[in-house]
Amino acid sequence: MPVPASSRRARLIQASPIRKLNPLADAAKKSGIRVYHLNIGQPDIPTPADYWEAMKCRIPEVLAYGPSQGIPELREAICRYYDRLGTAITSDQVMITTGGSEAVIFAMMAVCDEGDEVICFEPFYTNYNGFATMAGITLVPVRSRVEDGFHLPSDDEIESGFTKRTKAVLVCNPNNPTGTVLEAGELERLAKLVERHNLFLLADEVYRDFTFDARRHASVLDLANIPEQVIVMDSISKRFSSCGARLGNIISRNTEVMEGILKFGQARLCPPTMAQYGAAYLYDKLDESYFRKVSDTYQSRRDVLVEELEGVEGVFFLKPEGAFYATIRIPVKDADDFAAWMLTGFNVDGRTTMVAPAAGFYATPGLGLDEVRIAYVLKEEDMRTSLDILKKGLAVYPGRKA
Ligand SMILES: Cc1ncc(COP(=O)(O)O)c(C=O)c1O
């Protein structure tokens, strides 16, 4: 019997470049090697205990569906969180989603028809590719460079990506995979561009609480001139170190966009109910001092990364400014091969380090081949050990550039 073919979409969607080396890591572990994971953004900061306590108080007789836009307690708590930051939003401008991932998919689908284009700055969070394929839209990459600390390119370079099909510009701030924090001036530049070209500005702000060296995060929500063109996509995965809760949100002051997004939400019924009680409690309970502490922890790890890798021959990067990532240039021709070799052909006393090759974060073929992304999500001591192993590996890797 002939078997029907799967869809073009299902065949074309990319496999996660962050996870693709996992089988090699599994095999290394099976053979007794300890693998330090600098490849994935899974924070090791404990989920605040209050999260569990808040849920325990709400155990229902029936775990029922909740409202499609999320429970009012959580939407209101998010408004209070923004209020403390000096940004006024109302709960009808907030929609709770199943993770930041769903927030990005919903936002893309709410502003684009199939075949429309979204400008994004490469390297970018690789899962945007998958979301764009699901939504049937095209991501048009505009390059940012390691030499500029991956800050925004010139207006001319950005505008060179615009076509008749362009509907939005997408930024991730602070950025995954580069750790770049956009300055208020850069956002204002983008605001002028999207205003002039009548586009949406989508901002993924899931790392907004983690900025270093006394930097203050500038949100697109504070761009006064384009309130109805701005959509923020957010998540509690990193904010409260609770990736498994699967909760995120979308914020927009555009009523039409929010009405559309609500209908997407109704189709998938509701986000996880219990997790929302825990999240609502944390939004109110955890103040600036909690975020400062967590951010300082990441900053110390960033400092370890800089101490260990700055000045290493052939390695180049500018000091990351936020989130918990760095994209660094290394002296190899093919970082994919290097990352695989670290898992299959190299170890120091039975230990090795896993990094994410950066090419998967670029849309333009050939870019990022000599770069890797490092997620500094391990304790300082493990960071030092894993980076030391990385340096030793780089020194003897057979594919090292002369
Ligand atoms: C930039 C960025 N956006 C969105 C997400 C998705 O977050 P969530 O776990 O809430 O789906 C991630 C996860 O790593 C991310 O790094």
State in Å: Cα 235 to ligand 1 middle.
Answer: 7
What are the chain's domains?
Answer: 8-46+289-396 (3.90.1150.10), 49-286 (3.40.640.10)
Computed over every residue of the chain, the mean pLDDT equals 96
pLDDT at residue 43 greater than cutoff 90: no
Strand ranges, E, within 191-253 = 200-204, 230-235, 248-252
Q: Does residue 243 line the site of ligand 1, with CB under 6 A?
A: yes
Q: Provide the pLDDT for residue 218.
A: 97
Is 323 within 8 Å of 210 (Cβ atoms)? Answer: yes
Q: Which residues contact 12 (CB under 8 A, 6 or more apart)?
A: 133
322 lines ligand 1 (CB under 6 A): no
Closest among 372, 383, 269, 380 to 36, alpha carbons compared: 383
* pLDDT number for residue 15: 80
The pLDDT-based confidence of 14 (bands split at 50, 70, 90) is confident
The mean-pLDDT minimum among 13-22, 227-236, 301-310, 391-400 falls in 13-22
Confidence of residue 19 (pLDDT cuts 50, 70, 90): confident
Nearest CA to 41 out of 384, 376, 301 is that of 376
Is residue 174 in contact with ligand 1, taking CB distance under 6 Å? no
Question: Per residue in 44-79, is it b (16+ CB within 10 Å) or e — as a string?
Answer: eeebbeebeebbeeeeeeeeeebbbbbbebbbbbbb
CA angle, residues 373, 205, 139, in degrees to nearest 5: 65
Q: Residue 104 CA: which ligand 1 atom is closest? A: 4
Read off the pLDDT of each residue in 16-23 and give the average, rounded to a whole number.
84
To the question of pTM greater than 0.85 for the whole model, the response is yes
From start to end of 240-320, where are the E strands?
248-252
